[in-house]
Amino acid sequence: MPPQLPDGVPLFAYLLVSAVLFVLGVAGFLFRKNLITVFMSIELMLNAVNLSFVAFSYRWGKVDGHLFTFFVMVVAAAEAAVGLAIILTVFKNRSTLIVDDVDSLKL
C-alpha cells in the first residue's frame, strides 16, 4: 500500500474498518449466548455493510450507495421491531434468552 499518506484517507481504510466490524459482528453472532446480543451482532454486521456502501458511493461519486444504506436502515428498523417482539414472545413462553436453549426446531 502507499507509504506516504496524502492529505486525506485512502478509501480502503474505510473498507477495512467495515470488514473488521463485519467480522466482529459475525463473531458476536457465533459466540454470544444471549439472544438480544446475537440480534445486536446482526445490527453490527448491517452497519459494517452500510459503511462499505457509503464508501463505494464515494468511490463512484454517486448517491446510490446512500440510498442502499437508507433502505438497509429501514429494513433494520422493521427487523428490529419484529425480532424484538419475537424475543419477547420467546422469553414469555420459555423464560430464557439463551440461544442454545431455544432449539426445539430439530429432529
What is the pattern of x (binds other proteins, CB under 8 A) and - over residues 68-97? -xxx-xxxxxxxxxx-xxxxxx-xxx---x
Residues 50-69 that bind other proteins (CB under 8 A): 50-51, 54-55, 57-59, 61-64, 66-67, 69
Residue with cell 496524502: 6
Residues 28 and 9: their CA atoms lie apart, in Å, by 28
Q: Taking the complex as a whole, how short is the minimal distance between the CB of residue 75 and other proteins, in angstroms?
A: 7
Q: Taking the complex as a whole, how short is the minimal distance between the CB of residue 16 and other proteins, in angstroms?
A: 6
Residue with cell 445486536: 40
Q: Taking the complex as a whole, how short is the minimal distance between the CB of residue 104 and other proteins, in angstroms?
A: 7
Residue with cell 500500500: 1
Kind and range of the H or E element at 92? helix 64-94
